[in-house]
């Protein structure tokens, strides 16, 4: 995967986590879901920084690890949404789903090279 493509994908993940973060601030959400979203947002920023650094090629393994953690956090956020059921706003559920899907897609793309 080319570094500019990777950066675009990471930017999309971060946009989705921004959206989820805004949605969680506007409505009621369980604490564990809030924590997952905050963590995903921070991990997306870390991945962006790793991608932007001058040694980005050397950071490939570090970046892969960050993306793996990002996807795992997305899994936990999805689980928190499922456990909360109908008490979670549909807009928030959709934002979490999009962020998770972007992180999963990015992980798959990185693994394929």
Tens digits of pLDDT across the chain (113 residues):
577 888 888 889 889 989 988 988 887 788 999 999 999 999 998 888 877 765 555 567 788 888 899 999 999 999 999 998 888 888 888 999 999 999 999 889 888 76
Q: What's the pLDDT score for residue 54? A: 58
Q: How many domains does the chain fold into?
A: 1
Q: What's the pLDDT score for residue 61? A: 77
Instruction: State the CATH number of the domain containing residue 49.
Output: 1.20.120.230
Q: Which domain holds residue 53?
A: 3-112
Angle between helices 31-52 and 60-84 (to 10 degrees): 160
Q: pTM, whole model, 2 decimals?
A: 0.85
């Amino acid at each position: 995967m080319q570094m500019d493509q990777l950066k675009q994908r990471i930017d999309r993940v971060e946009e989705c986590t921004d959206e989820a973060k805004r949605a969680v601030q506007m409505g009621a959400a369980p604490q564990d879901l809030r924590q997952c979203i905050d963590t995903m947002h921070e991990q997306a920023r870390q991945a962006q920084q790793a991608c932007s650094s001058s040694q980005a090629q050397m950071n490939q393994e570090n970046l892969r690890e960050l993306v793996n953690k990002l996807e795992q956090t997305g899994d936990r956020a999805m689980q928190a949404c499922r456990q909360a059921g109908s008490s979670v706003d549909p807009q928030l559920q959709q934002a979490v789903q999009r962020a998770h899907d972007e992180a999963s897609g990015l992980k798959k793309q990185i693994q394929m090279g």
